[in-house]
Structure 1
């Protein structure tokens, strides 16, 4: 009779204990199984932990249907019970760095994260201040110094620390309050109620919020808002080499994912010629006769940009250990043609839910009339028509120069070379190859 009741008693007691001391029970059960001889159970001292005082250890038996030892079956049931218990775990914070160059559609793509809702803290081009401060008298920056500064500022911002960025804002903030944060209005988080300080009549803020009247930005409140959000995203067009960001990927406090946005270099140049006055040399070369001087500084600068983008992409696509699972290459052309699909892909990569707010914003801002999408900096566009619009504004001779100095980059990203002006403007010929970017 004692054996008849001992097995149920052991099982019930084990289920009670498993709630509080799961690890101990698992270890004891493992010892029991390891110490069993073929037909005899000789572990009374260990098993006694699970029995009432003065209760004897039962003889060893096999299950009548499965021929498995009874205590082995019991251990399995305990493990199954334990594995199905709910475990409360704080959702992991995600850190997204959108890397691009100017006129690649990065402001548009950045909105995919800016529109995420209350759980996302998004910053638009905070490195603008760093570049401005470090720009040399003759133009440009010291590459190594600026790269280190960019990395350190990004690292602190992902940790919701604005102190280092403050040192690059001109004029310097007073008591952590500034009226000069670049494009503040491009971050919904910096114009939210929790960060919107009272508006004072007469105060001038260059980059003021557009949706509501807010006073100068209190960076202490911004840091508090950042810490209250589950995820953080930053968009930047100023990082030249991906490998300079390795310390961010290896920082145990962060879980950084790099989304690398690229675009056809011919389209990028065509857009810059429209948007920026400093590209007047390219405009002149496109309209006058004669060849473009390939040794000109502007042409060399274009080649350097293409090389930097290609080398960064090659690093990412090789998936070195420090970047494994952290790098995603996305072509702007694919986003423009399939915005909802590519946005969903980016969210899957980031490990975040693709929210209805983002879907709604994409639906509203990718199917608009040409009049609505006419602004140089507009975030609205008819994506399918916009993607190759550059082909009808860029002179063929300029396209040839880009193809000559950026050919390896064009090849890596799957952009077709044009051999004639007719081919350039032929809508029936796509210049975008179908390409999946896996490891090289």
Structure 2
């Protein structure tokens, strides 16, 4: 009797072991199949059409709607056949991502690549659409959902695939045609003849091309034009943390270089109070009527922004393996003082030729007259811009910035002022000479 029970137990154990082995084999097979699918252009296209995917840090795949449900109600779109040209890094194609915050001179630095010439495909703030779509009715964006969305839209754009971005454009494109792409005119490549569709009189395109008359943007033509370019650069002020972009750096299909642009946070506040006047009424009131409440939400937001910039820079400068030879930190002040030198350094870092066309643009746009230098203009007398903020921000506001953004300022070499006289004295430099990109 005991022998029968023993045999029965042994059989059950054997069956359990076999079942576990089958499950392991199945999981390995699934991963191998997925890897083959990701490496096969045709299957990639089919995957994207049926359900846009999110490649997790651990290698698993989940539908985009699980990461940010706001997308689930959007209509499906077709996919331009762009994946085939970007499955591998061919012909030395470089991908540049310029990371910044508002009022740091990022539009000017973006133009350094936009003006490179016929080999560059440049996109100006495509993530504007993503932020707008994911912003709640209260005006608050879910930062976690946004970081996933930003990363995955960037991944597809670097592959010359606009299908995921289409899901965030409002109103939705019709047959991949939209009159609503944010700042289309800021991209030379999107206004070239190959992308310029016939003019449709009844359709108003807010950000229409200035160089030639074009109809609404055909994103299929944009995808084809992107594939024909040797390099691709994207400028954004919406990515908050560098570490969320690690999957892009480790994607074998891409060769991404990250350039982080920073600026003295006192200068940023002074510039924002002018450019976004209605949003900074409290700061103006504090400057005139009394002390700044340090515990106010707007002050905390400023501190949080500074901390995020500092964390990303510290990560980049620590040069982890996934960022080696992929990260560069640039101060706005250095670009303003030495535009040609710093542009040459950025081009050398990216491995892209520094063309005569780009050099000529720099010469034309760093010695502009005061009349040409508007708030949003990329034409500046660059050397004067470095110190201009010191005469527009009250000393008490500068003190608040120093208090809440002190560690960030120290990291980037921005000197503190302890009196209004020092703040207004142009003979006293507030910038330490620093080298950030020593390998």
Superposition TM-score tier, normalisation by shorter sequence: 0.7 to 0.9
| Displacement of 1:150 | 0.0
Which runs of structure 1 show a deviation greater than 4 angstroms over 4 or more consecutive aligned residues? Answer: none
For structure 1, the residue ranges without an aligned partner over 5 or more in a row are: 1-88
RMSD, aligned CA? 1.2
Kept after mapping to 1: 8 A contact 2:329/2:437: no
SS of structure 1 residue aligned to 2:194: coil
Pairing 1:281–2:287 present: no
Kept after mapping to 2: 8 A contact 1:95/1:231: yes
TM-score, normalization by structure 2:
0.79
| Displacement of 1:439 | 6.7
| Displacement of 1:90 | 6.1
Residues 390-422 of structure 1: per-residue CA shift (max 9 Å, x gap): 000000000000000000000000000000000
Kept after mapping to 2: 8 A contact 1:263/1:333: yes
**Structure-2 separation of matches of 1:185 and 1:275:** 20
**Structure-2 separation of matches of 1:310 and 1:259:** 14
| Displacement of 1:333 | 0.1
**Structure-2 separation of matches of 1:439 and 1:363:** 27
Residues 145-183 of structure 1: per-residue CA shift (max 9 Å, x gap): 000000000000000000000000001000000000000
1:78-97 superposed matches below 5 A: 91-97=91-97
| Displacement of 1:438 | 4.2
**Structure-2 separation of matches of 1:221 and 1:438:** 38
For structure 2, the residue ranges without an aligned partner over 5 or more in a row are: 1-88
1:75-224 superposed matches below 5 A: 91-224=91-224
| Matching residue of 1:268 | 268
**Structure-2 separation of matches of 1:259 and 1:90:** 22
| Matching residue of 2:395 | 396
Kept after mapping to 1: 8 A contact 2:328/2:437: no
Residues 283-337 of structure 1: per-residue CA shift (max 9 Å, x gap): 111122x210001010000000000000000000000000001000000000000
1:318-337 superposed matches below 5 A: 318-337=318-337
SS of structure 2 residue aligned to 1:137: coil
TM-score, normalization by structure 1:
0.78
SS of structure 1 residue aligned to 2:232: strand
| Displacement of 1:228 | 0.1
SS of structure 2 residue aligned to 1:295: coil
Residues 206-230 of structure 1: per-residue CA shift (max 9 Å, x gap): 1111121100000000000000000
1:355-434 superposed matches below 5 A: 355-373=355-373, 375-434=374-433
Structure showing greater radius of gyration is: 1
Kept after mapping to 2: 8 A contact 1:318/1:439: no
| Matching residue of 1:435 | 434
Kept after mapping to 2: 8 A contact 1:249/1:323: yes
| Displacement of 1:184 | 0.3
**Structure-1 separation of matches of 2:170 and 2:127:** 13
Kept after mapping to 1: 8 A contact 2:422/2:428: yes
**Structure-2 separation of matches of 1:407 and 1:338:** 26
| Matching residue of 2:258 | 258
Matched residue count: 350
**Structure-2 separation of matches of 1:227 and 1:279:** 42
